[in-house]
Amino acid sequence: MIEFLMKKVLMIGFSVLFFSILFVMLRTNKEMNGDLHIKQGSFIEGLKIVQKKNGRSVWTLTAQRADFLGRGDKAALSNVSVAVQENDLVLHVDKGVYNLSDKSFTTDSVVKAEAKDYTITADSIDYEISSGEIRTDGRIKVEGKGFIVDGRGMRADSEQKVSILSDVTATFHK
């Protein structure tokens, strides 16, 4: 009888221990899936951000390094490349700032965008990801097969309607 009671107590003890370990393991895993809190002074090397719409990649931003600024809601990016899959366009810039809260990308350095039939060079850009609007107040140059368009200031919307705002000169070659 004592042997039976001892086995029963031992079995209950192992069951409680097993369920406690299982609870701790599941609880720990659940906490790891929470938000990632990034503090100033943190950085990431080899950053890749993919924007998808309806399961398809719209654009992919890669950067060699991202240094987080302020409260961690902005990242100073270096050696940045943005590939827009739909337009087969690749944008290159040395430095820029990605704002994680309003999902925008801004740069004050020279930007070069290359596509199959044309190249765009701008002094700087502001890209608001949610609306798809791109703008610059600086110099802009568009070069393609047989033409060059140069001007100051540009606005482009998500429907790819592009306006060069002032000092526009266009040269066409045969």
pTM of the predicted protein model = 0.66
Q: Please, which pLDDT band fits residue 123 given cuts at 50, 70 and 90?
A: very high
CB 163 within 8 A of CB 174: no
Least confident of 2-16, 23-37, 106-120: 23-37
More confident site: 156 or 12: 156
**91-119 burial code (b ≥16 CB/10 A, e <16):** bebeebbbeeeeebbebeebbebeeeeee
* pLDDT score, position 9: 54
- The rounded distance, in Å, linking the Cα atoms of 110 and 94 is 8
- Give residue-wise pLDDT tens across range 139-158: 999 898 999 999 999 998 87
Neighbours of 144 (CB within 10 A): 14
CB 128 within 8 A of CB 144: no
- Give residue-wise pLDDT tens across range 48-101: 888 888 888 887 888 999 888 877 788 889 999 888 887 788 889 999 998 888
- Give residue-wise pLDDT tens across range 21-37: 545 545 444 444 444 44
